[in-house]
Amino acid sequence: MGDKMAQRLDLRVGEKAVVMAQADDGSMGAEAFRLVGVFHTGSVSFDSQIVYVPLSACQELLGTGRKINHFVVRLRDHGKVDRVRLSLSEKLAGKPLQVLTWKEVDHEIVSIQKFQNALLDVVLLVVFLIVALGILNTLLMSLFERVREFGVLMAIGARPAWVMRLILAESVLLGSVGTLLGVALGACLILYFGRSGLYLPVGDAMSYFIPFPSVIYLRFAWPNHSYAILSVLVTSVLAALPPALRAGRLRPAEALRHV
């Protein structure tokens, strides 16, 4: 049983405890068990509410014969959950059995995960808006400082489309340099916290419901990193569109008189 329950009941390994539960026929079953071990998961609800007993003894306690309520399959790669579920469903077709994933069993965890993902999406949206505004401000300042230069270029034959491509190229270069620096800094942080660990106070709050470590170890997630890199580059191009369009509408005569 969990260490918190053992402490609350003042039980030690080797001592006996009576487990009571409603049997399959509605009667109250009771059985004495000897405590052979104490576990600790870090979750208050797990460590204070869960008791494990042998399968045969549990079947006798509940009066279910050889019936089993459910099997639990644990996978090393959680990305194969849907594939394994489909395979088991095909093999168990026609039998009074149902194959469910953890997402269909524990809706509370799924809701928490959806809330965290939505919160992360909002944070990322704010971050990319800040990036876009920073790039837009930089390019607009650069445009206003070089209006006469663009006027000279247009006066000697440069087309507006060429000037617009120049602004976009500067934005892509700015975004690429920032992305490389960010990837380098992020890789260093991931390598460091991947070894030393990162303490998260939220783990203490989450551990009341489910086992959740207070110290996490970072690792590379290249699909997410690639998505972030692509998003930064796209944001850089989109932020450069207003300055590029403004530069493309410059008139050489007015640009040359700009102070």
Do 193 and 238 lie in one domain? The reply is yes
Output the CA torsion 173→137→146→254 (10° steps).
Answer: 130
Do 132 and 93 lie in one domain? The reply is no
Q: How many CB atoms lie within 10 A of CB 145?
A: 10
pTM of the complete model beyond 0.85:
no
Q: How far apart are CA 193 and CA 177, in angstroms?
A: 24
Do 155 and 85 lie in one domain? The reply is no
The pLDDT value recorded for residue 250 is 80
Do 29 and 84 lie in one domain? The reply is no
Q: How many CB atoms lie within 10 A of CB 79?
A: 7
Do 177 and 81 lie in one domain? The reply is no
Per-residue pLDDT of the chain (259 residues; tens, 9 = 90+): 999 899 989 889 989 988 888 887 778 888 889 999 999 887 777 888 889 998 888 888 888 888 888 888 888 887 888 888 889 888 888 888 888 888 888 777 788 788 888 988 898 889 888 888 888 888 888 888 888 887 888 888 888 888 888 888 888 888 888 889 989 999 999 999 988 888 776 656 566 666 666 788 888 988 888 888 888 888 888 888 888 888 888 887 777 776 5
The residue assigned the tokens 């699909």 is 223
Do 92 and 20 lie in one domain? The reply is no
- Overall number of domains in the chain: 3
Do 185 and 204 lie in one domain? The reply is yes
Backbone angles phi, psi at 216, to 5 degrees: -115, 155
Do 121 and 248 lie in one domain? The reply is yes
The pLDDT value recorded for residue 212 is 67
The pLDDT value recorded for residue 36 is 92
The pLDDT value recorded for residue 216 is 81
Q: Which range marks the domain in which residue 83 is found? A: 76-105
Do 189 and 111 lie in one domain? The reply is yes
The pLDDT value recorded for residue 122 is 92
Radius of gyration of the chain (CA): 31
Distances (CA, A) of 136 to 109, 204, 242: 40, 41, 8
